[in-house]
Amino acid sequence: MAFLSRFLITAGLCLGLQVSLLATVPSASAGETLRVGLDADMSSASAESGEAIRRGMVVAIDEINEAGGLLGKPLELVVADHRGNPARGMDNIENFAAMDGMVAVMGGLHTPVAMAELAAIHRNNLIYLVPWAAGTKVVDNGYTPNNVFRVSVRDAYAGRFLAEEAKRRGFKTIGLLLEQTGWGRSNEAAFKTVGKEIGLTISNVQWFSWGVKDIRLQIEALRNSGAEAILLVANAREGAVAARTVAQLAPQQRLPIISHWGITGGQFTQMVGKDLEAIDLTFLQTYSFLRPPRPERARAFLARYYALFPGDRHEPQDIRSPVGTAHAYDLMHLLARAISKAGSVDPDKLRFALENLGSYEGLIKLYNPPFTATSHDALTQADFSLARFLPSGAIIPVQK
């Protein structure tokens, strides 16, 4: 039978988690449903990314349940808010592992949280899906077997892409402005490796911590080092501090900023305000609903998205943090195919199925295949592009 997805959103406590339950069948008990967890920032500085991921999951789950669910059962989404805190994330993973019917957990934006969770993920033999966190070692984590599968950017690829974009624009000397986390260090290693290969000089590296309020000294050090542009690795809150700092300089002193995509996971444009118009800022993306590679798939997705979220403006550019939504949507369908292929939700069988899915035409690309036994990253540098913000917050692809 086909299951009716009602997606009634409620708030409550479950095993100590702040959760939002997306109810599929009102009468279904825990034993009659399959659950997928989302562990992301839902209320702090990068909450926009968590909500984008949730929405991508909701659209996919609605499609899956409308088609009859999986193994004769509907899917239910359970959302936990880690607020960007690794300790909260570790607790959430343990609580998810204790839930009946939990099939897999999808993570959020933060590489440091994902890295902190890896031990609990593998100790509990949970399948962990990554729609955003880009740290190379989130996937190349040293665990055998490896339960982490990613449809997102990989920093080893992102560093090369951003460095090559800087060189393509004619810059010979760049400065690095990086957050002081595993994500920042992952990108530092990538930038330095690529810089040597392509003849791009890194004149200076400056670091900042989460929550920083003043980055003037770091910007000044990069300028004084002879940098012609800044490669930025930051999330929205700290990225906005950097952008405002550059905007407040005299026009001839404002260095162009080429940024990783963390700035798109929060209310960056609201925090930067009119200063956005004073800076040259581009950033990495993997998908745009304004220029979808598979228009028919995008049209079908958007029709369902607008039906499920009727309060939103029905314009593609109004989908915030679109990469999170697109990645999560494709990951949910890849998981569903793996469950169907395995005929089971046993983690070992699911891992094998994910590594042997064959081809799948998703929203983002034709995955052929998405994963193998030796590669758990579904996207490559060929899937990357640059974009800009409009003052409204809309993300617009850059025409090369």
Cα separation, 90 vs 81, whole angstroms: 11
Cα separation, 335 vs 71, whole angstroms: 13
pLDDT of residue 311: 87
pLDDT of residue 398: 94
Ramachandran sector of residue 84 (left: φ over 0; alpha: ψ -120 to 50; beta: rest)? left
Q: Tell me the pLDDT band of 18, cut-offs 50, 70 and 90.
A: very low
Q: How big is the CA angle at 209 (ends 223 and 187), to the nearest 5 degrees?
A: 70
CA distances from 292 to 297, 301, 307, 364, 366 (A): 9, 11, 20, 8, 13
- Partnered with residue 73 across adjacent β-strands are 70
Instruction: Kindly report the average pLDDT of the chain as a whole number.
Output: 92
Span 307-326, mean pLDDT? 93
Query: End-to-end CA distance of the chain, in Å?
Result: 49
Q: Tell me the pLDDT band of 399, cut-offs 50, 70 and 90.
A: confident
Q: What is the pLDDT of residues 374-392, one digit of tens each?
A: 999 999 999 999 999 999 9
Question: What residue has token string 């990108």?
Answer: 187
Cα separation, 368 vs 386, whole angstroms: 24
Q: Residue 194 corresponds to which amino acid?
A: V
Q: Is 144 exposed, middle or buried (CB count within 10 Å of its CB: 0-12, 13-18, 19+)? A: exposed
Domains of the chain (ranges plus CATH)? 8-153+292-379 (3.40.50.2300), 156-285 (3.40.50.2300)
Q: Residue 334 corresponds to which amino acid?
A: L
Contact 74, 7 (CB under 8 A): no
Q: Does position 24 have pLDDT exceeding 70, yes or no?
A: no
Span 303-331, mean pLDDT? 94
pLDDT of residue 131: 98
Span 62-86, mean pLDDT? 98
Tokens of 290: 């304004």
pLDDT of residue 14: 33
Nearest to 84 by CA among 131, 133, 119, 125: 133
Radius of gyration of the chain (CA): 21
Ramachandran sector of residue 142 (left: φ over 0; alpha: ψ -120 to 50; beta: rest)? left
pLDDT of residue 380: 97
DSSP string, 133-198: ---HHHHS---SS--EEE-S--HHHHHHHHHHHHHHTT--EEEEEEESSHHHHHHHHHHHHHHHHH
Edge to edge, the sheet with strand 281-285 lists: 201-208, 173-179, 229-233, 257-259, 281-285, 385-389, 395-397
pLDDT of residue 5: 34
Question: What residue has token string 């095993």?
Answer: 15
Contact 124, 97 (CB under 8 A): yes
Q: What is the pLDDT of residues 229-240, one digit of tens each?
A: 999 999 999 999
Alpha-helix residue ranges (DSSP H) falling in 316-380? 322-342, 347-354
Q: What is the pLDDT of residues 211-230, one digit of tens each?
A: 999 999 999 999 999 999 99
The structure's pTM equals: 0.91
Cα separation, 260 vs 239, whole angstroms: 10
pLDDT of residue 400: 62
Q: What is the pLDDT of residues 114-143, one digit of tens each?
A: 999 999 999 999 999 999 999 999 999 999
CA distances from 209 to 80, 149, 214 (A): 25, 28, 10
Cα separation, 132 vs 152, whole angstroms: 5
Please report which helix (H) or strand (E) contains residue 387, including its range: strand 385-389
Q: What is the pLDDT of residues 166-177, one digit of tens each?
A: 999 999 999 999
Percentage of the chain exceeding pLDDT 90? 90
CA 145 from chain center: how many Å? Answer: 23
Alpha-helix residue ranges (DSSP H) falling in 176-321? 182-198, 216-224, 236-247, 268-272, 295-308
Question: What residue has token string 């040293």?
Answer: 142
Q: What is the pLDDT of residues 32-51, one digit of tens each?
A: 899 999 999 999 999 999 99
